[in-house]
Structure 1
Amino acid sequence: MHGSEPPGRREARKADRRRAIVDVAERSFLERGFAKTSMSAIATELGGSKTTLWSYFPSKDDLFAAVLDQKIAVFQNALDGALIPTEGTAAALTRFGRLFLAKVLSSSSAGLQRLIMAEAERFPNLGEAFATRGPERVRARLSRYMAEEMAAGRLRQGDAERAARQFLSLCQAGCYLDRLWRHARPIPSEASIDADVTDAVDTFMRAWGPDAK
């Protein structure tokens, strides 16, 4: 019986159940869109009741936020590892850029971004949740790195957030836009990603390197 379970096992079972709910919800959001995804349908697919589902997530908005949080958590840890101060600023930004582009070019991430753009006008909370949990978290992490590099003299002094915004935009100036709008195209190759990141880092360092004016 669940009531006699050790607390650790009970918490692990709840965590597993929560992950299963989020996985089903992500698939449903991507396949049906936000408007056509219902809590009832998710509960049916999971084989449980709406009451059980609501005990984990009080609303569809909360469930969508959990999907975003799950997607960004592992990604943020990887980005932290990329921004280690070894081999110089250009090397760190290259590692970061490759991870960033590979993530936003993946099928699930590209599909999620299309979903947000299609439904954010009808569901403003959707766009707000995506912005605060995805792009803003990534930009904030990169901004902290830029500020550290400026303080160390490895980048010229300036607005660290502006520098972060510009680098992210440079990374997305090539194959990312084709991937976002042209659904039928395959995921860009590593060579295409590397070329875009190399161009982004080169352009960025010309503007923000320690000798830039």
Structure 2
Amino acid sequence: MPENTRAAIEIEPRRARGRPKAEDLAELEDRLIRVARQKFVVNGYGATSMNEVAKAARISKGTLWARFPSKADLFRAIIDQQIQQTGDGGRHLGPRPKTLEAMLRGFAERALQDSLSVEIVQLNRLIYSEAGRFPELGEAAWARSRAGVQQVTDFIQDYAAKEGITCRDPEAAAEMFTTLLRGFYGDVMLKGHVATAAEIKAWTRRMVKVFLAGRPGW
């Protein structure tokens, strides 16, 4: 694998023997997720065994299996953590914007900036390359996509009531919106282009305007 696509695998300190205390469980799961993500990115999902993850995390195989009964469960935990870290329901925008246009622009900019981080790009390339052999990767990515659709659906419903504009099918509109985002993201990722904040801002401004032009038909 080319050097510039590798993720360094951190050396984890050895965990003390014995059953982890309740207050240590969250830290333990974070460690396992971090190590598994690094191993998957460097070696590939199919080529990484649960035993290798346990060894890299310096914990017993029993402890790993107790937290994550399968490799698919471990990968889903990685995706769930991404959703929690990046899907904050628009709270990153600060005070709620006055219009749906402003809300969607802010959401789209943040979603693209987060998704174009090195860590998430590496993981998405892994999903695209191995989902054909391991359907659980595609299923996890689909769940992440649905979380985004639900967020945008909620925005559209909230602002339909606030702005007095009827929306007959907010979920369908949200699906179209997220499809537009994925199109831009896919182009940037596949070309290996580093999109600047200014480029993301300009594109999202144009995209949201075009999207909202069809609002009467929603």
Tell me if structure 2 keeps the 8 A contact 1:97–1:197: yes
Q: Normalising by the residue count of structure 2, what TM-score does the alignment of the two structures yield?
A: 0.82
1:158 to 147, 153, 168: 168
Runs of 4+ in 1 over 6 A off after TM superposition: none
Q: Which residue of 2 aligns with 1:181?
A: 190
Partner of 2:8: none
Partner amino acid, structure 2, of 1:69: D
Q: Distance in 1 between matches of 2:128 and 2:165?
A: 34
Deviation at 1:78, TM superposition (A): 5.4
Trace 1:76-91 onto structure 2 (pairs within 5 A). Answer: 76-77=87-88, 79-82=90-93, 85-91=96-102
Give the equivalent residue in structure 1 for 2:123.
112
* One-letter amino acid matched to 2:188: R
Please, which runs of 5 or more residues in structure 2 have no aligned partner? 1-15
Identity of aligned residues (%): 30
Partner of 2:203: 196
Within 5 Å, give how 1:31-70 maps onto structure 2. Answer: 31-70=42-81
CA distance, structure 1, for counterparts of residue 95 and residue 166 of structure 2: 19
1:113-141, Cα deviation, whole Å (9 max, x unpaired): 22112111211122112211x11011011
Distance 1:70 1:81 in 2: 17
* Alignment partner of 1:129 is 2:136: no
Instruction: Please give the per-residue CA displacement for 1:31-74, whole angstroms capped at 9, x wherever unaligned.
Output: 22210111111111112221121121111111111111111102
CA distance in 2, matches of 1:96, 1:204: 14
Q: Cα distance 1:173–1:45, how it changes in 2: closer, same or farther (>3 A)?
A: closer
Rounded Cα–Cα distance in structure 2 between residues aligned with 1:130 and 1:156: 31
| Alignment check: 8 A CA contact 1:2 1:10 kept | no
SS at match of 1:168: helix
1:2 is displaced (CA, Å) by 8.4
Taking structure 1 as reference, are residues 155 and 2 closer, same or farther at Cα in structure 2, changes over 3 Å only? Answer: farther
Q: Is the counterpart of residue 30 in structure 1 residue 37 in structure 2?
A: no
Query: Measured at CA, do residues 117 and 83 of structure 1 come closer, stay the same or move farther in structure 2, by a change above 3 Å?
Result: farther
Higher mean displacement: 146-155 or 54-63: 146-155
The amino acid that maps onto 1:158 is R
Alpha-carbon separation, structure 2, partners of 1:207 and 1:84: 26
- Is residue 83–residue 95 contact of structure 1 (8 Å, CA) maintained in 2? no
Q: Indicate the RMSD between aligned Cα atoms, in angstroms.
A: 2.5
What displacement does 1:154 show?
A: 5.0
Contact 1:89–1:149 (CA under 8 A) maintained in structure 2: yes
Count of residues in correspondence between the two structures:
203
1:167–1:154 CA distance, 2 compared to 1 (3 A): farther
Structure 1: which 5+ residue stretches go unaligned? none
Structure 2 match to 1:71: 82
Other structure's SS at 1:77 match: coil
